[in-house]
Amino acid sequence: MSIRHRIIILMTGLLTGIAFAQAGADHPLVGRYEGSELVGHTTNGFEEAEIIDGPITGPAHVVDAAGWIHVEGSADLYYYKLPDGRSSLEVLRNYEGSLKAKGFATVFSCATSNGSCYQT
């Protein structure tokens, strides 16, 4: 499965003290949350990664274990500084709604704060 056929949104805290290549353009299918600032962009011509596609049922990160899928292909990472007063959850929900309106579907969504990424 190729990364170029899926858009993976990972929400993280603000990045500080890390240098990334500056870029002025957003991903054409995703766009930019209103008021946010693009602070960096990296491109890898060919990369591999394991992403969560369901509740993790085994050890924290075992390749081929339930809850993980291996993907490879071209990967672009965009780094944004959110506008003051906006939470990561608010921005995530905005992106989810925007992508759904464009015909995308969520494969899996979870949060470590409530334990929904793991099954015991």
Domain that holds residue 87: 3-110
What's the confidence (pLDDT) of residue 29? 83
On whether residue 102 sits in a domain, the answer given is: yes
The answer to whether the predicted template modeling score (pTM) of the entire model surpasses 0.75 is no
On whether residue 116 sits in a domain, the answer given is: no
What's the confidence (pLDDT) of residue 5? 41
Q: Computed from CA positions of residues 61, 62, 66, 69, in that sequence, does the dihedral angle turn out positive or negative?
A: positive
Section 94-116 average pLDDT: 85
Residue at 10: amino acid letter: L
On whether residue 14 sits in a domain, the answer given is: yes
Q: How many domains is the chain built from?
A: 1
Q: How many Å is the maximal CA-CA distance in the chain? A: 44
On whether residue 119 sits in a domain, the answer given is: no
What is the separation of C-alpha 113 from the centre of its chain, rounded to a whole number of angstroms?
Answer: 17
Span 41-65, pLDDT tens digits: 888 888 888 888 888 876 666 666 7
The CA distance from 80 to 77, in Å, is 10
Section 63-90 average pLDDT: 85
On whether residue 117 sits in a domain, the answer given is: no
On whether residue 104 sits in a domain, the answer given is: yes
On whether residue 61 sits in a domain, the answer given is: yes
